[in-house]
Amino acid sequence: MSTDLQSQSRTESSHSKALSWLKNEIVSDSSVTAKDTLRMLENLSEQYSLGFSQHQLLLVMHHLYLMYQKNAFINLTSIRTMPDGLILHSLDSLLFAKVIDEYIALDSYALALDMGTGGGFPGIPLAAVSNFNVELLDSVGKKVNACNEFVEEMGLKDRVHASHARLEEFVKETGRAFDIVTARALAKLDVLIDYAEPYVKRGGYLFFGKANPDAQEIRDAKIVAKICGFEIVSRETFELPDNFGHREIVVLQKISKSKVRLPRKNGEAKNNPLSAR
């Protein structure tokens, strides 16, 4: 089968799974049906000019729903209701996809790594709206198992996979392989750059989501970016609806060799930051 036909048949199979799920399910907040939630996401998609198809949004919702089901057993999110999660997890992750598309087309077959993915944010929504091959990484085994269950259930297993490892160690298995590295709610920007450097190809991009980085965090990020061979190419800002707050996605490009040997030992990036040298 040609790659296009394989990809079309994969899309059809994940579409029918998501549709059969939508028909039956009532989401965790008993006053809101899955159909209502999909409508909310479609409205948000329009409001932020995201341009994703209904099928893609359905997949994004399917992930959120599976994540909330699993959250009853393992701690994946502290955001209690599905409508809040829709904004703070799904929309927030889709904003990454919107920004990434400006640098690497979502319909390309780029390789992406989501560092410290937790319940799969932003990596799984990113996979749902792209053709990317996505590696999700987390140091907590239960979260990794949950993510692998989600992508199997969503029909994305052949191009999305979660691995259980620390960022400081996973590079020994994979090498410098990725076009894109993402992270949300993992660490300060300087630490994220330190973690990500061994994974991204020359010319590749880092996309880091922050609530509101202060001037010191940006100063430290600039210092470490220079040491590690990156430049900050953009800082995209968004206001989430209903006063859910400010979001910034910082975009960096790998332009030269790192001046220090990375990765460093476990915990070094946080405990002995390059920005303080």
Ligand X SMILES: C[S@@+](CC[C@H](N)C(=O)[O-])C[C@H]1O[C@@H](n2cnc3c(N)ncnc32)[C@H](O)[C@@H]1O
Residues 6+ apart with CB under 8 A from 276: none
Smallest distance, ligand X to C-beta of residue 136, A: 9
User: Quick one: tokens of 187?
Assistant: 């660490």
Q: Which is nearer to ligand X, 33 or 174 (CB)?
A: 174
Q: Is 184 annotated as a binding residue?
A: yes
Smallest distance, ligand X to C-beta of residue 228, A: 17
Other Cβ atoms closer than 10 A to 53 = 12
- The enclosing H or E element of 77 equals none
Binding interface with ligand X (CB under 6 A): 116-119, 121, 137-140, 143, 166-168, 184-186
Smallest distance, ligand X to C-beta of residue 171, A: 11
């330190």: which residue's tokens? 194
Smallest distance, ligand X to C-beta of residue 123, A: 8
Q: Is 167 annotated as a binding residue?
A: yes
Q: Is 80 helix (H, G, I), strand (E, B) or coil?
A: coil
Sign of the C-alpha dihedral computed for residues 163, 141, 169 and 92 taken in this order: positive
DSSP single-letter state for residue 200: E
State the angle between helix axes of 3-24 and 54-71 in degrees (0 to 180), rounded to the nearest 10: 60
Q: Which is nearer to ligand X, 143 or 188 (CB)?
A: 143
Q: Which is nearer to ligand X, 43 or 266 (CB)?
A: 266
Q: Is 150 annotated as a binding residue?
A: no
Q: Is 169 annotated as a binding residue?
A: no
Q: Which is nearer to ligand X, 135 or 179 (CB)?
A: 135
Smallest distance, ligand X to C-beta of residue 4, A: 32
Other Cβ atoms closer than 10 A to 162 = 24
Q: Which is nearer to ligand X, 51 or 267 (CB)?
A: 267
Q: Is 41 annotated as a binding residue?
A: no
